[in-house]
């Protein structure tokens, strides 16, 4: 058996051979298509992904698979390729202070009041936004709306269903859980589903933040894009931030992730505090 130094493929078992050149090429392809930057520490994950996707299409090598993608820009396989590299780490009421700020902000704004959740993942974040707005806005059924988008088609489908395990909904206050979720019966025991009171407030769409055609011409009072910009390079982050600015109403808010700092990237926003930015 050859030593690790002499091996031309990754040590993580894969279904087809994946070499260093394949990894570097896949990183370039992913970045060009979705803006997602993957570092060298993602070697094994990329190898596993390329191997599985190539095998699923009956191909014998990662090179053949990547050739297929680049030669067929409209192939449905692009969706599976991008989905495989997205990370859906989210939770209900994650960074609680953001929802407290949103609730207070909503009370000070005129209707219609709208929020864009620009990286909605499997739905925990937009449903939390919906609960916060229902609690803070009089007559939330009138003039209050949420657009929730994500690049991962599977995540959007799960979000639309609004079904979660009891473990996933543990961060939700008990009163909110009883008010806004219905417990499953029979084969659905151990699961809950968001009630129409919050589901009907949200419109879900699949959307790539690098797309030249943004999902709507609507202006928003607030945009949530948390823990997503870290996957883009600095020029891409700046470009997206400036487009966010163009989609906010005067005085609108941008909510960022706890590890994200945009103050040095653009003058379109000023830091309000606690990773909340106001349109300048």
For residue 6 the two structure tokens come to 């002499």
pLDDT tens digits, 103-119: 999 999 999 999 999 99
pLDDT of residue 145: 95
Strand order in the sheet with 191-194: 163-165, 191-194, 181-183
DSSP conformation class of 187: G
33 annotated ligand-binding residue = no
94 annotated ligand-binding residue = yes
Residue 8 has pLDDT above 60, yes or no: no
More confident residue, 16 or 192: 192
90 annotated ligand-binding residue = yes
Residue 88 has pLDDT above 70, yes or no: no
pLDDT above 90 as % of the chain:
51
Residue 1 has pLDDT above 60, yes or no: no
pLDDT tens digits, 117-163: 999 999 999 999 999 999 998 777 788 999 999 988 889 999 999 99
Contact 43, 34 (CB under 8 A): no
pLDDT-derived band of residue 214, with 50, 70 and 90 as boundaries?
confident
pLDDT of residue 10: 37
Which backbone phi and psi does 7 adopt, to 5 degrees?
A: -75, 140
Q: Please state which of the ranges 6-10, 44-48, 253-257 shows the lowest mean pLDDT.
A: 6-10
226 annotated ligand-binding residue = yes
48 annotated ligand-binding residue = no
40 annotated ligand-binding residue = no
Instruction: For residue 164, list its beta bridge partners.
Output: 192
88 annotated ligand-binding residue = yes
More confident residue, 146 or 274: 146
With CA atoms as reference, report the closest residue to 213 among 169, 251, 243.
243
128 annotated ligand-binding residue = no
Instruction: For residue 205, list its beta bridge partners.
Output: 149
pLDDT above 70 as % of the chain:
92
208 annotated ligand-binding residue = yes
Complete domains list, the chain, with CATH: 4-85 (1.10.155.10), 96-279 (3.40.50.150)
| Mean model confidence pLDDT for the chain | 87
């Amino acid at each position: 058996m050859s030593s690790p130094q002499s091996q031309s493929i990754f040590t993580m078992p894969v279904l087809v051979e994946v070499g260093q050149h394949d990894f570097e090429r896949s990183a370039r392809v992913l970045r060009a298509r979705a803006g997602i930057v993957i570092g060298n520490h993602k070697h094994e994950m990329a190898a596993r992904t390329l191997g599985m996707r190539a095998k699923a299409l009956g191909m014998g090598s990662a090179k053949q698979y990547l050739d297929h993608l680049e030669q067929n820009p409209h192939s449905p396989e692009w969706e599976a390729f991008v989905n495989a590299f997205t990370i859906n780490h989210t939770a209900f009421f994650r960074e609680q202070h953001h929802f407290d700020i949103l609730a207070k902000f909503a009370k000070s704004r005129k209707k219609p009041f709208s929020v864009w959740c620009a990286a909605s993942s499997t739905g925990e974040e937009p449903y939390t936004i919906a609960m916060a707005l229902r609690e803070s806005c009089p007559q939330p059924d009138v003039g209050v709306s949420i657009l929730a988008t994500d690049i991962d088609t599977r995540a959007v489908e799960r979000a639309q269903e609004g079904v979660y395990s009891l473990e996933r909904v543990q961060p939700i206050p008990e009163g909110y859980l009883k008010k806004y979720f219905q417990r499953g019966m029979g084969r659905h025991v151990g699961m809950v589903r968001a009630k129409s009171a919050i589901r009907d407030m949200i419109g879900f769409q699949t959307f790539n933040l690098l797309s030249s055609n943004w999902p709507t011409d609507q202006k928003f009072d607030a945009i949530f894009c948390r823990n997503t910009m870290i996957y883009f390079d600095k020029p891409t982050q700046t470009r997206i931030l400036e487009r966010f600015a163009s989609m906010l109403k005067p005085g609108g808010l941008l909510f960022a992730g706890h590890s994200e700092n945009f103050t040095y990237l653009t003058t379109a926003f000023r830091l309000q505090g606690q990773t909340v930015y106001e349109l300048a």
